[in-house]
Amino acid sequence: MNQPLVQQFSQATQAVHCLIPDYIMLTDTISDALLEKLETVSIPCKKKLIVCIDHDTPNSSIAVGKKQRRLLNWAVKEHLPIEKCQGVGYIRLLESYIHRNDIIAGTGCHMACLGAAGALGIQMTEDELWETIKNDKVTLPHPAVLTISLTGTMPNYVSIQDVALAIQKEYSHKIDDHTLIVFKDEIGLTTDQRYDLCHFAQQYGACSALFTEETISCNTTFDISATQPLVVLPGTSNQTEYLGALHGIHVNEVFIGGCRGGKLEDLRAAAAILKGKHIAYRLRLVVTPATSSIYLQALREGLIDIFLDCGAVVMNQGCSVCWGKAQGILDAGEVLVSTGSYHYPGCCGDASADVYLASPCTAAHCAITGILSE
């Protein structure tokens, strides 16, 4: 096992850390320019590179198929590990690759979610990733470490995503892109729950986040007991609002899936609400398990039956509506309640459409009523 990460950062005095990555993640979102560079060099750390085809699957156009095929052909030539259409790459890494204190580099916007396993996910530009691949080294500015001890009992009517948004409201003024958030779990969270807390930490500005089993002194304690359901409002800022403050927002589409809403615990929570019900007649419900293994387990547990019986369309594993390029695309003026990660104008279709981010439980309730409200 690698040296404990928190110990490395807390004891270090240097301004910049030079770290050796355990894995480097490449997805089908990389640019043609980076792929051209990769095709011209000998890769010194082949076992560390993992190629994930997970965003636009099955490919939505000839151009996308051509790009994915080129990436796959290169990966096969280099004998690299390939995750081809098995689901969202981050969760596939958690399922099959990474361990505590591992360091993973990639260009993805959700690299911090790997902190659910006690690993450090580092997001970088393509130029930085290129240097990392060539030199087998990550250069990381010394982060300001914010340690948060999680205590209390989560109310029955809230989800861990609500807790993550409540933490954002509490600590956003202390967080910037040089902040590493370290969570100390005092309440026994599952890996799925830890995933969402790390995921949202990066969404609201931290450079990364992780859970630690080390004995550490925490800057602050967050009691989850008073958490209320929250949603992220449409737009370019991470502005949140209590669900109870929203009234009469008619919804055209609900998405339960992606890496934040398609984990097994998310599907179970949504299915418990949807069982025996039917979605609003004017509304589309798209459900997407995050990975193949989650899809299979959801089938075994009868969750897929529940989704189909209530009127949902169940898509293949992957990013789906969250990616916003091939499935569930919004028309002008439509409203989406999503368990995805994005809510900026045009992220899931027409730029005039509104996207509200919510927990799987809130999304499931909304699918039944057709209205976003408490």
- Residue 294 shares a structural domain with residue 354: yes
Note whether residue 58 is domain-resident: yes
Burial of 63 (0-12, 13-18, 19+ CB in 10 A): exposed
Residue (of 335, 161, 312) closest to 248 by Cα position: 335
- Which tokens is 213 given? 């089993």
pLDDT in tens, 30-78: 999 999 999 988 887 788 999 999 888 888 899 989 999 999 999 999 9
131 and 41 within one domain: yes
Distances (CA, A) of 330 to 57, 269, 348, 355: 18, 25, 6, 9
Average pLDDT of the chain, as a whole number: 91
Q: From 139, 156, 182, give the residue that closes a domain.
A: 139
The reported pLDDT for the residue numbered 339 is 95
* Residue 7, in any domain of the structure: no
Q: Is the pLDDT of residue 263 over 90?
A: yes
Residue 94's domain comprises: 20-139
Q: Is the dihedral of CA 216, 221, 224, 225 positive or negative?
A: positive
| pLDDT recorded at residue 273 | 97
Distance CA 284, CA 279 (A): 8
340-372: pLDDT as tens digits:
998 999 999 999 999 999 999 999 999 999 999
pLDDT computed for residue 143 by the predictor: 85
- pLDDT reported for residue 12: 56
In order of 65, 166, 198, 258, 356, the CA distances from 232 in angstroms are 33, 11, 16, 16, 6
Give residue-wise pLDDT tens across range 184-214: 999 999 999 999 999 999 988 899 999 998 8
Residue 1 confidence (pLDDT):
54
| CATH number for the domain harbouring residue 177 | 3.40.1060.10
Of 319 and 24, more confident? 24
Q: Do 354 and 245 reside in the same domain of the chain?
A: yes
Q: Backbone phi, then psi, for 215, in 5-degree steps? A: -80, 115
Is 122 a domain residue?
A: yes
Last residue of a domain, one of 107, 139, 171: 139
Give the max Cα distance, the chain: 60
Say which residue, 9 or 183, is predicted with more confidence.
183
